[in-house]
Amino acid sequence: MSAATQAFLEMLAAERGAAANTLAAYRRDLDGAEDALGDLAKVPRAAVARLAGEWATLAPSTVARKASALRQFFGFAVDEGWRGDDPSGALPNPRQRRPLPKVLGHDAVRALLERAELEAATGKSAAVRQLALLEMLYGSGLRATELVGLPLSAVPRDAPLITVTGKGGQARMVPVSERAREALTRWTALRPSDPPSKFLFPSRGGKHLSRVRLFQLLKELAARADLDPAGISPHVLRHAFATHLLEGGADLRVLQTLLGHADISTTQIYTHVDAARLVELVNSRHPLARRGRTD
């Protein structure tokens, strides 16, 4: 990696508070571009234009992500005086539609919870941990990284809230349901203390449970609950949290705060998912709808 791209990544971490996963993704994309073109601070515009052919077989979402990383780098390079031009205009700009999130129905969530509760009733620490993880994913809408990285000190005592550090190091307060608090209490009573770890869900090495292992645990639980494991993941449960809240009448701005979305447009994806509720809202609240009933 060139000194220029390394400096760009350091800027993202220091000034924008980019998360480790974000930095890793930028590093991969910039490394790939440098392998194809050479030093990005010096590469000519004509060479940048060749990336469209290099990326021709990639999915539009992947091309858009790579192009975004390069645009940001080139803007940084111009600001630093390393380049006299910004060749971003030569990058491909694929049109893509944001996919609708997978929706997990109430019955499927109920089946997962019932199975997890049945297994936790055995008192085994792994089963109790599994229930606590599930309750936090569905009950508070946490991202996988946010959940596994929770410190032990985050466990609520009196206030029914938990402080979560989300993308970009942004902290937010998230409510914890009574069910989740009860599951967390059961888990902390069984949580191993050797080796010492500051994390709520420690691993055997003293660090925290990995995201990969969390995915595996959920898919294994889904199979035991007679659900398709392919349709279950931490993010699907986060989507279920958001969709079911919206169905219950939650305000979109409140939902944005709970999910930790920086932009309301990200939260608005759930209005497409909950189409049935929107139709009902128009039919019941629109002035012409009320007039029709009166007539």
More reliable by pLDDT, 24 or 264:
24
Contact status, residue 183 vs residue 135, Cβ threshold 8 Å:
yes
Out of 115-129, 196-210, 232-246, give the one with best mean pLDDT.
115-129
DSSP string of 218-281, one letter each residue: HHHHHHHTTS-GGG--HHHHHHHHHHHHHHTT--HHHHHHHHT-SSHHHHTHHHHHTHHHHHHH
Residue 90 to residue 51: CA distance in whole angstroms:
9
Cα separation, 25 vs 7, whole angstroms = 16
Instruction: Quote the distance between the C-alpha of residue 178 and its chain's center.
Output: 24
Domain with CATH 1.10.443.10 in the chain: 106-231
- Write out pLDDT tens, residues 175-193: 888 888 899 999 999 998 8
| CATH number 3.40.50.1240 given to 3-90 | no
C-alpha distance across the termini of the chain, in Å: 72
Closest CA to 104 of 294, 238, 9: 238
Planar angle of CA 140, 141, 143, nearest 5 degrees: 125
> Quick one: what percent of the chain has pLDDT higher than 90?
33
Q: What is the reported pTM?
A: 0.62
106-231 classified as CATH 3.40.50.880: no
For residue 129, pLDDT beyond 70: yes
Please enumerate, as own/partner, the contacts of 254-263 that have beta carbons within 8 Å and a separation of 24 or more. 257/172, 258/140, 258/141, 258/172, 258/174, 258/175, 259/141, 260/143, 260/146, 260/164, 260/166, 260/167, 260/170, 260/172, 262/167, 262/168, 262/170
Mean predicted confidence (pLDDT) in 55-59: 87
- Distance, CA of 199 to CA of 145 (rounded, Å): 12
Residue pointed to by tokens 């307060």: 173
Q: Which residues are designated catalytic?
A: 143, 167, 235, 238, 261, 270
Q: Does the structure show a pLDDT above 60 at 112? A: yes
Cα dihedral: 185, 189, 191, 193 (round 10): 130
What phi and psi, each to the nearest 5 degrees, are found at residue 260? Answer: 75, 30
- Give the tens place of pLDDT for each residue, 241-290: 888 887 777 777 877 878 877 767 666 666 655 555 556 656 776 676 65
Give the whole-angstrom CA distance, residue 189 versus residue 24.
36
CATH 1.10.150.130 boundaries in the chain: 3-90
Percent of the chain with pLDDT over 70: 86
